[in-house]
Amino acid sequence: MEFHDSPGTVLPITGATLNPRIAFNVSPLRLCLELLVALGIVFLRPGSFLFHIPLRVRSGQSVVLAMVVCLGMVMVWGVWLLVNGGTVFQGTFFRHGSHWLDYEQYARLADALIHGKTNLDLPVPDSLTQLSNPYDPDIRNIISNGGQTPLFWDHAYYQGKYYAYFGVIPALLLYAPYQIITGHWLSTGVAVLVLSLLAALTMSLLIITISTVLFPQSASLGMTILMVYAGILGSSILYQCATPNFYSVPGAASLMFTCLGLTCWLLSRRRDQSLNRWLLFVGSLSLAANLGCRPQFAIAALLAFPLFWKEIRYTRQFFSIKGWANTTAAILPFILVILPLGWYNQIRFGSFLNLGSNYNLTGFDMTRMHLPSGNIIPIVWYAFFQPVSLTMQFPYANATSTPLPFWSPAETSFGGIFAISPVLILAALTPWLLSRTNFRIKALALTSVTCGLLVAVVDSSMTGLSWRYYLDWSWLFVIATALCCLTHDEGAKSKDLLPRHSSDNSVKAWSESSSALSRTLRMFILCAIVFSAAFQFLALFSDQRFISIRQENPAYYFTVAHWFSGI
């Protein structure tokens, strides 16, 4: 029990009971969660029969896989409910310094577009327009007069108008249609939930597609299920749903588009080795949409080279006269997206390529200052390898210490991605785990890891440290991890996965070592997934997060805390 009254307040106590009889109480929610965890461990233990069942999506397994995917989406929805996602980030209000927060930024952008404008309908005080450098936070703090003059945080300000520098496609995809149909603004919390659910769905479909397309003879039902949950827990989508404000909207949308696009590309190859141009087109269009959401995800386009290397290099189905239709289907969507987005930027900022992010009113002058390069290595270290901080008191998950040699934006961190989701460590072992597999799988995994590292370094140099930025690159490590695990799955003894010209003895030796490694991997993956799920769940209850469940949802907080009272 907590009291927040001032010192000296009299608390009326009408009675006290010594040694009370407390009725035995069974929590249905806790019982269900315990049952699900127990069943998951039983059915996905290393010796489970599920690892001896070849994956066949078009059989009765589709029902099992649908239940697995739905359970992953329920996990996302449950996190959103736990933090009161529908109401926790709403409205416009003053916070501190010169910070006025407008959590309806995307709804406001959609409203502007509906009314034929690109700037946001927010009041711009004369004192701001008269500044020679409105991007200097110290000067803004002075003219804000303790918040008496509204100056909006994390908005792009250019030539006397406010703009949203976040990608416009979510506003066109969700907010504008909702407002046109209902006449009301869409709650950002609801938008984050919808996009997060779709991201979890498409991530699961991507993992299942990787299993069926790249490992048709070896993937098992058990390993595929493990990888589905590894993808949801390792992609950082749960953090976005646990912090459902406008920052999470473009990232969740991009993860959805990226997974959908890669799934379409994987499915585009027909049995006769020709390509389905419509799937190529839809896949490219989905990936191109990242440019209007979270541009960092556009690096996914580079995965086309390992995915279609055979078609590019050998069968000449791309970049040739006979492959002109395929090439057009793959490239045209990017042009169709880039041109209107560039026109949108030209209208707002007078430049085809200017996204407006440098005009952001934030804690430092982004038009003049660049984050110190001396912080890149420490930030990358924290983002990947910082150990989690565990305590002996609920919620057991504590924020980590992340000192930097120079100042950079650094939000509260609970550990690096390899600590939060240990299964992704396998992606770092790609050169060894895939040393004897075929070129396509190895190239796809190595390209994914390389792209992930590149995005992590760029993010660290431009935006600083934050768990929400893990979303930009962690999905690439999920892909590499899935490729490593599926390669060493129980059925991964097929000669198709071995290099050409392998002798019978080498096949036998590789099969035996692969089987032993597969059993070890299963145990590690299962333990890593259970730990990641437990840690991310408990971290939600830490008071060091942006959302304190103890304050926002005390009933949930103390109910869950009571579950662990016996520890």
Residues 6+ apart with CB under 8 A from 197: 73, 76, 77
pLDDT of residue 19: 81
Give the pLDDT mean for 130-141. 90
Give the pLDDT mean for 470-492. 89
pLDDT of residue 385: 95
| Phi (first) and psi of residue 152, to 5 degrees | -90, 125
| Rounded distance between C-alpha atoms, residue 413 and residue 543, angstroms | 12
- Res 88 pLDDT > 70: yes
Strands 92-96 and 99-102: antiparallel
Give the pLDDT mean for 245-251. 94
Q: 533, 525 in Cβ contact below 8 A?
A: no
Q: 150, 100 in Cβ contact below 8 A?
A: yes
- Res 122 pLDDT > 80: yes
Residue 116: both structure tokens together: 């034929």
Residue 391: both structure tokens together: 């305590």
- Res 503 pLDDT > 70: no
What residue ranges do the domains of the chain occupy? 52-87+187-563, 94-182
**3 state SS of 18:** coil
Range in 9-13, 117-121, 306-310, 338-342 with the lowest mean pLDDT: 9-13
Of all residues in the chain, the percent with pLDDT exceeding 70 is: 94
Q: How confident is the model at residue 2 (pLDDT cuts 50, 70, 90)?
A: low
- Res 567 pLDDT > 70: no
The pTM score is 0.91
Q: Which value, in Å, is the radius of gyration of the alpha carbons in the chain? A: 26
pLDDT digits (tens, 9 = 90+) for 300-324: 999 999 999 999 999 999 998 988 9
pLDDT digits (tens, 9 = 90+) for 36-57: 999 999 999 988 899 989 999 8
- Rounded to the nearest integer, the mean pLDDT of the chain is 89
Handedness of CA 41, 46, 47, 48 (dihedral sign): positive
pLDDT of residue 5: 73
Q: How confident is the model at residue 519 (pLDDT cuts 50, 70, 90)?
A: confident
pLDDT digits (tens, 9 = 90+) for 156-182: 999 999 999 999 999 999 999 999 999
Q: Which helix (H) or strand (E) holds 431?
A: helix 430-433
Give the pLDDT mean for 94-98. 75
Give the pLDDT mean for 212-239. 94
Other Cβ atoms within 10 Å of 32 Cβ, number: 10
The CB-side HSE value for 447 (13 A sphere, CA atoms) comes to: 17
Residue 319: both structure tokens together: 């970049």
The CB-side HSE value for 103 (13 A sphere, CA atoms) comes to: 22
Q: How confident is the model at residue 505 (pLDDT cuts 50, 70, 90)?
A: low
Give the pLDDT mean for 131-148. 88
- Res 236 pLDDT > 50: yes
